[in-house]
Amino acid sequence: GIQVEQSPPDLILQEGANSTLRCNFSDSVNNLQWFHQNPWGQLINLFYIPSGTKQNGRLSATTVATERYSLLYISSSQTTDSGVYFCAVVGNFGNEKLTFGTGTRLTIIP
């Protein structure tokens, strides 16, 4: 099946800093999503972005499908951005299941 790798696994930043999270995938995809799991365990869908660039406030994401990666940018980090960020993809071949990466744990220090 398709492999999804996220980097870095852990990131600790001061409030106000910017960060870039990366998601690499091993095969062509028709579906890519970014999620934030907050410290209370809720999974929030940030972006549905199989290709191109999207922005939502301080967050933006870019997927370069031909090169099999996606980037999530967080600007002017706030403590509420802490949590685990997951990338998930559906490969073009296979049974259409959404496969998750292992996540990036982001900790924002006040």
Partner 1 sequence: DTAVSQTPKYLVTQMGNDKSIKCEQNLGHDTMYWYKQDSKKFLKIMFSYNNKELIINETVPNRFSPKSPDKAHLNLHINSLELGDSAVYFCASSHHRARVTFGSGTRLTVV
* Footprint of partner 1 (CB under 8 A): 31, 33, 35, 37, 41-45, 48, 84, 86, 88, 90, 95-100, 102-103
CB of 35 to partner 1, least distance (A): 8
Burial class of residue 105, CB neighbours in 10 A (0-12, 13-18, 19+): middle
Length of the chain: 110
Q: Which residue lies nearer to partner 1 by CB, 76 or 80?
A: 80
Contact of 22 with 69, CB cutoff 8 Å: yes
Q: Which residue lies nearer to partner 1 by CB, 18 or 92?
A: 92
Question: CB neighbours (10 Å) of residue 27?
Answer: 14
CB of 16 to partner 1, least distance (A): 26
CB of 110 to partner 1, least distance (A): 24
